[in-house]
Structure formats: C-alpha cells, structure tokens
Amino acid sequence: MNDHFLGFGLGLRTQHFNDVLETRPDVDWFEIISENFMVAGGKPKYYLHAIREHYPMVMHGVSMSIGSTEPLDKEYLQRLKLLANEVQPQWLSDHLCWTGLEGVNSHDLLPMPYTEEAIEHIAGRIMQVQETLGRQLLLENVSSYISYTESAMSEWEFYSEVVERADCLMLLDINNIYVSSRNHNFDAQTYLNSINPDRVRQFHLAGHSDYGTHVIDTHDHDICDPVWELYRQALHRFGAVSTMIERDDNIPPLNQLVEELQIARDIAAGILPRQQSGKPVAALEAR
C-alpha cells in the first residue's frame, strides 16, 4: 500500500470556507492553491489556519513556470517556502509547463516541447527548486491543445524521463490525460501503462467542456463517465493514490462536491483491497 495515501480530498475554495468550518464535511484532506494564500494576513489566512486545524492539506501552485527559459523566481520560491512552513502540507505540487516569456505571464499552463534539450533544462530547474524548498516536488501533467513540430517523443515519455532525471514525483491529472488524448488523438491507457507507479503520489479529477472536435479543461462541470472510466483504469494500475476533485468555475454547494467525491470512494472501494480504500488512519487522527 502507498504509505502516502491520504484518502479522498477536495480543492479548498473561498465559497466553501464557512461551510467547511461549520459542517466539517466528510473529506479526508484539502488541496489549497498556494498563490491564494501567499499574503501576510487577512481573511484567507484566518480560514486557512482554522481549517488546517481539522484537516490535512497539500499545496498546489500555478505560477512556478518550471519549464520557462527565464530565471527561476527566487522571491516566489521563498514566499512558497514560508507558506509551506506555516501550512506544513503533506506535499507541494505545480505543473509541468511554462506560463510566460520576457516578463509576460500568459496565465495559461503551456505545454513543453518534448525534446531531450527540454528534459535536460527542466530537470535541472526542478532539482534547484527541490533544493531551495528542501522537499521533493510533485509535477502535474497539463492538458494541451497545441503541439510542437520539434517534439521528438510522446508526452508520457517526456514526463517519465523528467521525473526520473530530477527525482521528483507525479501528480497525475486523470481529466487532463483524457482531454489531451481527445485533442491529440492518443490512447489514454497507453499513457497510464507507461507511467512508473512508484512516482505517482496524487490524482486530480475534474470536469471539462466537450465541443466534439476538441475538449477544453474548464473545471466547471461534474466529472464525466469516460473520466470515471479512466480513473478505474488508473486505480487498477497504481493502487491506492490520494485522489481529489478540482472544481474552479460554476462552483456548486459543498455538499454536492462531497457527493461527487463519494463516487470516487465507491469506485475505489470496488477495485482496491479493503484496507486500501478505507479512510487512512492519518486522516482520521487529524480530525
């Protein structure tokens, strides 16, 4: 069994702060967006600390731009480290992507060209970040809508090689694999089969918008059946992996997300051995 299995979590969203504190929902852990709490004080920090007293947390960032050719933002990394000291998360993640060039932030998580040169570049930067933060980093696969003519390998070959060379970990976004498999016409099962289970620490699940000819990773819908099916396949391959639902737009009441999370629990209970799908001891003790 995966020693790091936290159970089933949700992304912590501002709209749910009060409900979480008042109703203490049946959620094993929360993932926070790091940048939302990299401030000195105020309401977000108040809720962060109050909720942290009752739930384990992980930190998820969106602006490290680990794949960029610009220098690493040392000030950002120091602020991230300070927040991690405060929150004491189980782990910390960002995306395998770049977000801008020459000081301009595109606010998009842009895919990398899948080349040896890019592997070398990004692995070196990950090692620098891990040294600065004093911990292993999880990197998430992004959904993509474009590809580069320079790419010399598949996304999964690139991703696997980066994490091995940098000795970091993977946050596998099941929805992103599905979205990219539709947009680039590859087999999602082939993707899963090529990933080293020892590197996988967390799963993301989310909804998307399906336009027939292409799929956009909008995080504003319930999780659809093909993504649940891919989640089943991921559980068969990787076993018990901490799983959470990301919802960023069209956010429903908290109890609706807790119900959707129950679907993930039920699927896992039907696939994993009993001792792996139940609530982990750590999550219960943290209440």
DSSP state string for 49-73:
HHHHTTS-EEEE-S---TT-SSPP-
Shortest Cβ 152–Fe ion spacing (Å) = 26
Among 199, 204, 208, 247, binds Fe ion (CB under 5 A): 204
Shortest Cβ 173–Fe ion spacing (Å) = 4
Shortest Cβ 50–Fe ion spacing (Å) = 25
Question: Tokens 């003790």 correspond to what residue?
Answer: 285
Shortest Cβ 227–Fe ion spacing (Å) = 12
Nearer to Fe ion, 204 or 208 (CB): 204
Nearer to Fe ion, 75 or 99 (CB): 99
Question: Tokens 């070196």 correspond to what residue?
Answer: 124
* Region from 146-154, 201-209, 234-242, 275-283 binding Fe ion, contact rule CB under 5 A: 201-209
Structure tokens at 186: 């590859």
Radius of gyration of the chain (CA): 18
Angle (CA) 47 50 54, round 5°: 130
| Burial status of residue 134 (CB atoms within 10 A of its CB: 0-12, 13-18, 19 or more) | exposed
Enumerate the H helices of the chain as residue ranges: 17-23, 43-52, 74-87, 116-133, 155-166, 174-184, 188-194, 225-238, 254-271, 274-277, 281-285
Q: In this structure, are residues 31 and 57 in contact, taking their beta carbons and an 8 Å threshold?
A: yes
* Region from 107-115, 118-126, 167-175, 220-228 binding Fe ion, contact rule CB under 5 A: 167-175
CA 188 – CA 185 distance, rounded (Å): 9
* Region from 9-17, 117-125, 199-207, 229-237 binding Fe ion, contact rule CB under 5 A: 199-207
Q: How far is CA 18 from the centre of its chain?
A: 24
CA 121 – CA 113 distance, rounded (Å): 11
Q: How many residues bind Fe ion (CB under 5 A)?
A: 2
Tell me which residues in 236-265 interact with Fe ion (CB under 5 A).
none
Q: What residues pair up with 92 in beta bridges, in sequence order? A: 59, 137
* Region from 9-17, 111-119, 200-208, 250-258 binding Fe ion, contact rule CB under 5 A: 200-208
Asked if 173 interacts with Fe ion (CB under 5 A), we say: yes
Asked if 95 interacts with Fe ion (CB under 5 A), we say: no
Shortest Cβ 7–Fe ion spacing (Å) = 18
Asked if 52 interacts with Fe ion (CB under 5 A), we say: no
Asked if 201 interacts with Fe ion (CB under 5 A), we say: no
Q: Taking the alpha carbons of 253, 259, 260, 265 in that order, is the dihedral positive or negative?
A: positive
* Region from 65-73, 168-176, 208-216, 233-241 binding Fe ion, contact rule CB under 5 A: 168-176
Nearer to Fe ion, 45 or 229 (CB): 229
Would you tell me which residues interact with Fe ion (CB under 5 A)?
173, 204
